[in-house]
Structure formats: structure tokens, C-alpha cells
Amino acid sequence: MEQTVILSVHDLHVKFTLRGKVLHAIRGISLDLYRGESLAIVGESGSGKSVFTKNFIGLLDKNGWVDGGAILYYGMGGEPADLAQYHTEKEWSRIRGREIAMVMQDPMTSLNPLKTVGWQIGEALELHQGLKGEAARQKAIEILADVGIPEPERRYKQYPHEFSGGMRQRAVIAIAMACNPKILICDEPTTALDVTIQAQILDLIKELKEKYSLTTIYITHDLGVVANVADRIAVMYAGDIVEIGTCDEVFYDPRHPYTWALLSSLPQLGVKGEELYSIHGTPPNLFNTIRGDAFAPRNPNALKIDFKHRPPYFAVSPTHKARTWLLDPRAPRIEPPTVIRNIRSVREKRT
């Protein structure tokens, strides 16, 4: 399959100032996003998933800034636009919503409680697609049906508080879709939605992706929900992508000890009668300079070099790479935990 890049991030650094101190939130991420793919970004709370992607729509908090790198957007034809150089609202208005849309973690904060859902979709349709009156109403109802909201004609007239949590999330996606974006980013809440609803939203995104040839990024802390749905998975740790590969590569052949730990702690993969694995320790404090592999202090098998030098990416396949010294040809052979080696058989047995 021929793949064209729609968004290319090069060595992106993002920093914040907080009470006079500097926090290095994104520590040199590079990523090519392909047109039409669905990428999942997974990682613990605080790993930088939201901060990373907020840079694509210019919604970094005011105390944050891009401290180096480029974000090349190829979606508008001609020369790519470097979003890392965008500063004004005027510049961002060409991108935000109409090229790249982001569905935020908390659907209640992105919906206006005082306006009907139909009105809010209509507003986006008028602004981005020039539709008004009956044409806009028809289109809005079509979009509500597209996002799987039953009885769209009735729902159109309702207010956000009349929607359940899952339906609200769909309404927010409907508003995003009304802008007709090329890239849709869904930043899933860690707690507000249960796993079943997350799975339904993922199915929905898959349908929208097919119907509208969208490129999608789905953000979650739960590797389990993106299994078999995403084309690729990027694993984030401490402001960096530590492993990226196709869904199969990350699930069946993970190479970074952090990915091992994430997979080992999935309840779905737990062995009956055995205590579920949990990652001990806490993520590093990003106010401090990080030396070596950021995961080393929590990695029971860390090598000496892990505490000294930051590992480069080592390619496992043309589509799979991980930032770990374990992939260096000189590294001692360390086997992944048993649960990882068993994943294939556990999963095969259960399906």
C-alpha cells in the first residue's frame, strides 16, 4: 500500500513555565502520520499525549511553547505549512477545525450547555461549509445519524444535558465532523467513559474514517481498547514516543520494557489466580533533566547504560521501532515477561 504523509513532526520539544520553573513536557518527538490511517497514542496519565497533539491545532496552554522542531502539515496542497511557526489566531483559524479537529477529553466542556446540539452543529456547518437554514438542518441531522445517534430529528432539538455520556461524546464528534476536517483527533478521558463506550466510539471513528477518508488519532491510556482497531500504535512515556509499530507488532512483538509493562498490566491478559501486574514507581518529574532511558528507574531489568545515555530508535521492521538499548546488538538478551510471550496464545484461545 502506498502511503502519503499528511503530517510530519520533526524533533518536537515543548516546554512550560510553572512558578518560575521550566517543565520539559515533549522531549524530541518525531512522527509521520499517513493519510487515511488510524493511529492510537497510548501512555499513562502525564506522558504528554494531550500536550503533544494540542500543538497540531494551536491550543497549547498559555504558559507553554514550542521549544524546537517542526510540524509540517501537507493537507492543503503545495508547500507544507509548518505549524510549529504558527502564532496568531488568524493563522490557526485556517487549520483548527477545518483541517485538523480535536475532540477534547471532557465532552461537557466542549459543548455549550445553553444551546441545542442541533444549533451547535449548525453553527459549524455555516462557518465551515457555508450551509444555512433548511440545508444546514438536513445536513446536521445526517451527521447526527452518521455518528450513531438514534432519532436524530428529535435529538437535534435537545440540549447537551439531555444526552448520556456516550451520546455526548458522539455529539462532540458530530460538531467536529461538521467542520469537514482531514484529521480527527479524539482525546479520550481516562475516567469519564467506560471501556465499552470507548470501544463503541472507536468503532464509530472507524466508520467515519471509511466514509469521509479521514486520518484519525485516538488517544487513550488503555492499550486494551485499541487492540485490533488502530492501524498503528505509538506508546508514549515521559514526553517521548518510546515504541511505534503496527497494532500486531506492538501487541505480539513489543520490544520496549515500558510496553511490556503496559501490556502486562492489562486485565484482559491476566492469568487467572495470579495477581495482576502493576508498574511500580512513578513517572519521572519533567522539571528535572532526564538522563538515559526515562523508564530505567522503574525497569527491573535496566542496564547500566540505561541510566547514562538516552537510547536511539532501533528498527525492528520497516514499520516498527523502539527506543531501548535492549535492541542494541551488544545488549544482553533479556526475555520479555512470560505474559508477553503468552499474549498470542492467550488471545487466540479467547477469540
55 binds Mg ion (CB under 5 A): no
Residue 190 interacting partner from Mg ion, ligand ATP, none (CB closer than 5 to 8 Å by kind)? ligand ATP
CB-based contact 34:45 (threshold 8 Å): no
| Nearest of 166, 279, 306, 292 to residue 223 by alpha carbon | 279
Minimum Å distance from CB 63 to ligand ATP? 5
Beta bridge partners of 34: 5
Minimum Å distance from CB 219 to Mg ion? 7
What's the grid cell of residue 85? 511557526
Give the residue nearest to Mg ion (CB): 50
- Residue 50 vs 215, nearer CB to Mg ion: 50
- Residue 99 vs 240, nearer CB to ligand ATP: 240
| Distance, CA of 24 to CA of 329 (rounded, Å) | 31
- Residue 54 vs 98, nearer CB to ligand ATP: 54
- Residue 49 vs 155, nearer CB to ligand ATP: 49
In a 10 Å sphere around its CB, with 0-12 CB exposed, 13-18 middle and 19+ buried, how is residue 116 labelled?
Answer: middle
CB-based contact 181:98 (threshold 8 Å): yes
Minimum Å distance from CB 164 to ligand ATP? 22
Among 31, 37, 48, 50, binds Mg ion (CB under 5 A): 50
Residue 16 interacting partner from Mg ion, ligand ATP, none (CB closer than 5 to 8 Å by kind)? ligand ATP
Minimum Å distance from CB 61 to ligand ATP? 3
Helix (H) or strand (E) run with residue 232 in it: strand 232-237
Q: Which stretch binds Mg ion (CB under 5 A): 42-50, 73-81, 141-149, 233-241?
A: 42-50
CB-based contact 84:70 (threshold 8 Å): yes
110 binds Mg ion (CB under 5 A): no
Minimum Å distance from CB 188 to ligand ATP? 9
| Distance, CA of 72 to CA of 76 (rounded, Å) | 11
Residues that bind ligand ATP (CB under 6 A): 16, 18, 23, 25, 43, 45-51, 61, 63-64, 190, 221, 286
DSSP per-residue letters across 17-77: EETTEEEEEEEEEEEEEETT-EEEEE--TTSSHHHHHHTTTT---TTEEEEEEEEEE-TTS
Q: Return residues touching Mg ion (CB under 5 A).
A: 50
